[in-house]
Amino acid sequence: MAIRKGQIALLDMTMKPVDEAKIGVACIQMEPVFGEVEINVRRSIALMTQAAQKGANLVVLPELCNTGYVFQTREEAHALAESLDDGMTVKAWQAAARELNLYLVAGITERDGAKLYNSAIILGPDGPVGRYRKNHLWADEALYFERGNLGFPVFDLPFGKLGCLICYDGWFPEAYRLLALQGAEIVCVPTNWVPVPGGQPDDKAIANVLTMAAAHCNSIFVAAADRVGTERGQPFIGRSLIAAQTGWAVAGPASAREEEIITAEINLAAARRGRNWNAFNQVLRDRRRDLYDEMLGAEAASRWY
């Protein structure tokens, strides 16, 4: 169509959105064997390989998936924990991430001197990206682990900005909000969800509801990888899922009992585009900063690394 003098061609208004940040995401739902670190790491890498074959560029593994979860003594936890700088688990995962050309977010039992942390390691094809330490400890975790001391860091990856939470962190809306305020487009959640107080129907999990609500309220993608099985009498509920920025699941929830890989192809740019809900409302812009401070009282981001 010819454009007359004085006309403005609004071509961008009619173009289909491009896939600026299109990636394949996989959540691996597995059943670690308590204390069998080598077996668990080998199994996780085998499942990572399957996820890569399904097109995954970003893979999430469950909480503490290299050791198992239900420790009985601090000595036991300390013996199974590893340094994230030179531990066997990180070396093996790093080699796999390089070979498979993907990014990995994985729950790991971290030892830092005499202190232990329930942590997640973020690895990429070119090396380590960063770490996150669980800020909100659940039940007996408080007997073995220190509370996280790294705040809520956000990591710049080639396809977008990534944040991380672990399990019980997801019960605190402030955690997701602080990541979103720093620009996170996807939050990866290694988790070991357990039945919650008050019970739940067999076909539903309150953790799924909270995950989808956080995705919707912050316009972010959330990828939560849970474990299955029963360990030392503690059952885990599975139901891993990937939620879009709309809040609706685009993969999962997975089964309650079986090992499973759930995958989704997503465009992270939709997280930013989707924050404008209508002509008046944008979910982060509409915050009442006259009633509460910009970062909800948290420390400055520059001190979180």
pTM, 2 dp: 0.89
Q: What DSSP string runs through the chain?
A: ----TT----HHHHSPPP-TTEEEEEEEEB-PPTT-HHHHHHHHHHHHHHHHHTT-SEEE--TTTTT-S--SSHHHHHHH-B-TTT-HHHHHHHHHHHHHT-EEEEEEEEEETTEEEEEEEEEETTEEEEEEE-SS--TTHHHH-PPP-S---EEEETTEEEEE--GGGGG-HHHHHHHHHTT-SEEEEE----PPTT---TT--HHHHHHHHHHHHHT-EEEEE-B-SEETTEE-----EEE-TTSSEEE----SSS-EEEEEEEETHHHHHTTB-SSS-BTTTT--TTTS-TTTTPPPGGG--
76 tagged catalytic: no
164 tagged catalytic: no
Q: What is the pLDDT of residue 10?
A: 44
Q: Which residues pair with 128 in a beta bridge?
A: 123
217 tagged catalytic: no
What are the sequence ranges of the domains in the chain? Answer: 21-303
Q: What is the mean pLDDT of residues 175-189?
A: 96
CA 3 to mean position of chain CA atoms: 48
Query: Which structure tokens are listed for 9?
Result: 């061609």
Instruction: Using pLDDT thresholds of 50, 70 and 90, give the confidence band for residue 3.
Output: very low
Catalytic residue, candidates 161, 167, 185, 188:
167
Range in 7-11, 162-166, 168-172 with the lowest mean pLDDT:
7-11
Per residue in 252-303, pLDDT tens? Answer: 999 999 999 999 999 998 888 878 888 888 888 888 888 888 787 776 444 4
Instruction: Using pLDDT thresholds of 50, 70 and 90, give the confidence band for residue 305.
Output: very low
Instruction: Using pLDDT thresholds of 50, 70 and 90, give the confidence band for residue 200.
Output: low
C-beta of residue 238 within 8 angstroms of C-beta of residue 255: yes
Residues 6+ apart with CB under 8 A from 44: 28, 30, 61, 65, 66, 93, 106
C-beta of residue 103 within 8 angstroms of C-beta of residue 58: yes
Q: What is the mean pLDDT of residues 89-98?
A: 98
Instruction: Please tell me the distance from the alpha carbon of residue 137 to that of residue 225, in angstroms, as a whole number.
Output: 18
Catalytic residue, candidates 65, 82, 110, 134:
134
Instruction: Please tell me the distance from the alpha carbon of residue 63 to that of residue 67, in angstroms, as a whole number.
Output: 9
Could you identify the residue written with the tokens 């997801």? 170
Q: What is the pLDDT of residue 173?
A: 95
Per residue in 8-40, pLDDT tens? Answer: 444 444 444 556 678 999 999 999 999 999 999
Task: State the CATH class of domain 21-303.
Answer: alpha beta
C-beta of residue 211 within 8 angstroms of C-beta of residue 222: yes
Q: What is the mean pLDDT of residues 242-258?
A: 96
Going from the C-alpha of 179 to that of each of 103, 189, 207, 240, the distances in angstroms are 19, 12, 19, 21
Q: What is the pLDDT of residue 202?
A: 67
Q: What is the mean pLDDT of residues 30-51?
A: 98
Q: What is the mean pLDDT of residues 77-84?
A: 97
Instruction: Using pLDDT thresholds of 50, 70 and 90, give the confidence band for residue 138.
Output: very high
How long, in residues, is the chain?
A: 305
Catalytic residue, candidates 63, 110, 185, 260:
63
Burial, 171: exposed, middle or buried (Cβ in 10 Å; 0-12, 13-18, 19+)? middle
